[in-house]
Amino acid sequence: MIRLLATCAALALAAPAAAETVAIVDATLMTMTDAGEIAQGTIVIRDGRIMAIGPDVTVPAGARVVDGRGGVVTPGFIQADSTLGAVEVSQVPASADRATHSRSISAGFDISLGLNPDSILLPVSRLAGITHAVTTPLYDDRPGRDLQFSGQAAVIDLAQRSDMVTRPRVAMVLEMGEGGAERAGGARGAAIVALRATLDDVRHFARHRAAYDRGEGRPQRLSRIDLEALVPVAEGRMPLIVKVDRASDIVDMIAFAHDEGLRIILDGAEEGWRVAAAIAAAKVPVIVDPLADLPRSFSQIGASMDNAARLHAAGVTVILKTGSGVAHRARELRYGAGNAVAWGLPHAAAVAAITINPARVFGVADHAGSLAEGGAADLVLWSGDPLEPLSQPRLIFVEGIETPLTARPLDLRDRYAP
């Protein structure tokens, strides 16, 4: 009986607040829309949507009023390049579904299938204001396996409901530069040639599916699963996340994408600031880690703390990520954004880089990324500046669902509290 009640309670929690109307009053609202920042505003939430927002909104009778004085409301944050939902303990392979070493599935790997809404990492990240993540496949190279793509990324929400996939297959993931070279036998020139050949195979396959099914198609290096998955990439319908850092690799991949008619998103781009104008001219969005300032390899010699600021100043659409794909560290996103501000990125641009920019680039702007009348209530009320460690979340809505301010580490804390 108790278990049944608990199940009912859990289900009730996982549904948008249908009956209740919630009004957050007198808070600073960072809308990420043309309305900009509203100094003392009110947001009314009903049925999981924002019914009204602005400086002069009347609070409906019967609404639960949340005093937002001194607080800031932002859209929920989006952690790009994470493995949230696909891992419990990094070094326990059986607890992770973020990579495959299958020899017949690489580009075909669809991470949106088999994710875990009960992951204890989701509430931890949510307490850092993260309501969505771009869950992105990693590589699991093995001897004799040198497949080019790691798979297809998905946007998920962190409401911990069974239907956690906001949008599947939002992008294909490809590492070039040093990693790409290694998979092609050790040289960039081989990697680029191999990639061109793959795209040619995919286009040939798309034109001759029937012959392929009769066993009469030309020999293909990739499995049918992988070829099928790559068709929308080759046709420019699915964006290709390209992980590169060296300035020359960035320029090469922009030119390659132009020649092949691909839509690309750069990921990493630690030397991006050196070729910012070229990236801006190509209208290629960039995912950067604002803390990455180490010359970790010969591809990151020019890594610099002001990479994000310089890319933004050049007109590039910047998305910030932190933790280098390590899901347990997803919660550091807002601090990373704060550091980007300390190194020259305007504060509003830093918030955009973890809200509306990734929402637009990954096609989920109708679910998250901004505060607008009629839009999904995907937002966080903070006790102060959301990028400051000293601020804490006071209220979290994930796509209209109010989520509790709890997580397993807090349970541990309370069990051992003095």
Partner 1 sequence: MGLRLKHLGECVRWALLAAAMGMASGPAGAAEGPFPSTYRPAPAAPVAIVGATILTGTGAEIANATLLIRDGRVEAVGRGVAVPDGYTRVDGRGKWVTPGIIDAHSHLGVYPSPGTPSHQDGNEAVAPNTAEVWAEHSVWPQDPKFRLARAGGVTTLLVLPGSANLFGGRSVTLKNVPSVTTQGMKFPGAPYGLKIACGENPKRVYGGKGRAPSTRMGNVAGYRKAWIDAADYARKWDKWENDGGNGNPPKRDLQFETLAGVLKGEILVQNHCYRADEMAVMIDIAREFGFRISAFHHANEAYKIAPLLARENICVATWANSWGAKMESLDGIEENAPMIDAAGGCAIIHSDDGLLIQRLNQEAGIAMAAANHAGLSVSRGRAIRWITANPAKALGIADRVGTLEPGKMADVVLWSADPFSVYALAERVWIDGVSMWDRGDPRYRAPSDFLLGQPGQEFPR
Give contact residues for partner 1 (rule: CB under 8 A). 88-92, 121, 247, 271, 273-274, 291-298, 300-306, 310, 326-329, 331-332, 335, 338-339, 341-342, 387-392, 409-410, 412-413, 416-418
Closer CB to partner 1, 2 or 417, in the complex: 417
Query: Measured from the CB of residue 153, what is the shortest distance to partner 1 in angstroms?
Result: 21
Closer CB to partner 1, 267 or 332, in the complex: 332
Question: Is there a contact between 307 and 66 (Cβ–Cβ < 8 Å)?
Answer: no
Q: What is the DSSP secondary-structure string of 362-389? A: TT-TTTSS---TTSB--EEEESS-TTST
- Tell me the CB-side half-sphere exposure of residue 221, using CA atoms within 13 A: 15
Query: Measured from the CB of residue 48, what is the shortest distance to partner 1 in angstroms?
Result: 27
Closer CB to partner 1, 49 or 394, in the complex: 394
Q: Which amino acid is at 238?
A: M
Closer CB to partner 1, 55 or 409, in the complex: 409
Query: For residues 9 and 265, what is the distance between their CA atoms, to the nearest angstrom?
Result: 41
Query: For residues 245 and 299, what is the distance between their CA atoms, to the nearest angstrom?
Result: 6
Query: Measured from the CB of residue 410, what is the shortest distance to partner 1 in angstroms?
Result: 8
User: Which letter does DSSP use for residue 110 in this model?
Assistant: B
For residue 305, with 0-12 CB atoms within 10 Å meaning exposed, 13-18 middle and 19 or more buried, which class applies?
middle
Query: Measured from the CB of residue 395, what is the shortest distance to partner 1 in angstroms?
Result: 15
Query: Measured from the CB of residue 388, what is the shortest distance to partner 1 in angstroms?
Result: 6
Closer CB to partner 1, 110 or 306, in the complex: 306
Query: Measured from the CB of residue 112, what is the shortest distance to partner 1 in angstroms?
Result: 22
Among residues 277, 342, 264, 262, which one has the least CA distance to residue 309?
342
Among residues 6, 87, 136, 44, which one has the least CA distance to residue 397?
44
Query: Measured from the CB of residue 333, what is the shortest distance to partner 1 in angstroms?
Result: 11
Among residues 241, 242, 244, 240, which one has the least CA distance to residue 177?
244
Closer CB to partner 1, 285 or 290, in the complex: 290
Closer CB to partner 1, 86 or 195, in the complex: 86
